[in-house]
Amino acid sequence: MKPAPMRTWTEDSADADLITATRDGDRAAFALLYARHQRAGLNQARRCAPYGADPHDIVAEAFTGILAAFDAGSGPQVSFRAYLLTSIRRVGHRLRQQREDPQSQIPDAADTEPFSVLERNLVHEAFRSLPPRWQSVLWYTEVEGLTMAEIADVLDLSLPAVSALAYRAREGLRDAYLQHHLQPQGLGVCNDTWRYIGSYVRGTLNLRDTAKLERHLEECDKCVGIVDELAQVFATHSSTERMLGA
């Protein structure tokens, strides 16, 4: 990756700008992100670290993983702190599992096929939850294979309008898919936050609601745990992204 031109960052620099610069190779931007969020990360690590683990090591591993994700073109889009807290909880959970059962990290091949069925069911439920117009454009593009111009004729819309509609429908399907993983009644997510979590994990939640949710996450370990679980779903199920038109 060719390093981006260096610029001077200040405490007033927005996380979103620092994230973009880091993804372009600006290590000074990442250093500021580290300085800004390291204390919150350390507090989180102290809460989730298994006995005997060094919270500083957990934070370091989480930051290292995020930097690697940036270099690979992924990682957080806007909400760096929440992504960091999720990563720290994931590292802590993995360390705890490894200490309790070293074999727990080995997947059971027998579980693979049932989970594929579950994924398809979740995609189907997510699709059915979408507005009818979104369902229509997804059906025409992904199932019938119509071009944007053909769909424009069918729906009596302009070509730009169809393209925008298809984009919103795909994004809506991805968000809905994650939301259907939540099962809010069973997981006990706080009632006024669960509906934001799917889009938050994907980085598509608007800034106002993102700030509101992050304030809640700083005070609610339960919902941080749910965000963590959903982030793992989003990070690991690339086959589902293909089904959702990635």
Q: Tell me: the pLDDT tens digits for 169-209? A: 888 887 777 777 665 444 455 766 767 777 787 777 888 88
Percentage of the chain lying above the pLDDT 70 cut: 75
Choose among 55, 33, 32, 35: nearest CA to 43. 55
Cβ-defined contacts of 112-117 (< 8 Å, 24+): 116/239
pLDDT of residue 239: 43
Burial class of 185 by CB neighbour count within 10 A (0 to 12, 13 to 18, 19+): exposed
Tracing tokens 């390093």 back to the chain, one arrives at 3
Q: Which of 16-20, 103-107, 162-166 has the lowest mean pLDDT?
A: 103-107
Contact by Cβ (8 Å): 76, 20: no
**Confidence at residue 109, expressed as pLDDT on a 0 to 100 scale:** 41
Residue whose structure tokens are 């799917």: 198
Residue 235: the pLDDT is: 62
- Token representation of residue 198: 């799917």
Residue 229 identity: E
**What's the gap between Cα 110 and its chain centre?**
27
Residue identified by tokens 């984009």 is: 167
Per-residue pLDDT tens digits for 168-180 = 888 888 777 777 7
d(CA 166, CA 176): 15
Phi, psi of 87 (to 5 degrees): -65, -40
The distance of Cα 4 from the centroid of its chain, to the nearest Å, equals 25
Tell me the C-alpha distance between 98 and 103, whole Å: 7
What is the tens place of the pLDDT at every residue in 35-69? 999 998 898 888 888 888 899 999 999 999 888 88
Percent of the chain with pLDDT over 90: 6
What are the extents of the domains in the chain? 15-103, 112-243
The pair of structure tokens assigned to 85 is 């807290």
Higher pLDDT, 82 or 58: 58
CATH architecture of structural domain 15-103 = Orthogonal Bundle (1.10)
Contact 42, 63 (CB under 8 A): no
Alpha-carbon torsion angle 105, 111, 113, 116, nearest 10: -70
- For residue 215, give the amino acid letter: R
Q: Does 8 have pLDDT greater than 60?
A: yes
Residue in the block written with tokens 């745990």: 225
Which pLDDT value is given to residue 213? 83
Instruction: Name residue 123's amino acid.
Output: V
Return the CATH fold of 112-243. Arc Repressor Mutant, subunit A (1.10.10)
